[in-house]
Structure 1
């Protein structure tokens, strides 16, 4: 069960690295604007905010990845704490998105599905 939880945590981390790429590196591109439903003007205006937000996503992914590596190396306690901190924060962010912008439910579910499964399976495996 731990391995399956870590696979989902890894998928969540990869998704958040992708989100980082869109928010911090390609925010004003037409493809990213289409994905986020923004106009060229909105993207330009919010570019610095998106850059910062993208790095939050990257840092959450890094925390999760470091936790996965720690568990793989036999440091279950610290690894689990890091995985739960990383993917738990991803899940919380998805919940905030859903609560604050119900019209973004699809994005919130996309952002939160892998972390939710990872948290549930990891907690079950550790109990």
Structure 2
């Protein structure tokens, strides 16, 4: 079950790298505007915030990825702690998103379901 959890956490990390790309490099592109439901003017006004948020998503992905590597190379305690911190923060961010704006349920589900399943599987894998 630990391997399943690490795989799910890895997928979640990749999703967050993609979100980093959207928020930090493609923020005002037509396709990104459609994904986030914004006008070009709104995106331009929010560009600095999006850049910061994009890097936050990248850092969560990095922490999770480093945790996966540590776990895979035998440092299970350190690796699992990093995976749980990174993926757990992804879940928490998704919860904040849906709590703050109910219309963002779909985005929160896309952002938070896979890391939630990964966290659960890692915990089960560590306790079995």
TM surpasses 0.5: yes
**Corresponding position: 1:73 with 2:73:** yes
Match of 2:86, SS state, is helix
**Structure 1 CA distance for aligned equivalents of residues 28 and 46 of structure 2:** 9
Q: Give runs of aligned pairs for residues 13-92 of structure 1, distance below 5 A.
A: 13-92=13-92
Would you say how many aligned residue pairs link Structure 1 and Structure 2?
Answer: 127
Gaps of at least 5 residues in structure 2 are none
**Structure 2 CA distance for aligned equivalents of residues 82 and 25 of structure 1:** 27
Match of 1:26, SS state, is coil
| Aligned Cα root-mean-square deviation (Å) | 0.4
Report the TM-score when normalising by structure 1. Answer: 0.99
**Structure 2 CA distance for aligned equivalents of residues 121 and 4 of structure 1:** 6
Gaps of at least 5 residues in structure 1 are none
Report the TM-score when normalising by structure 2. Answer: 0.98
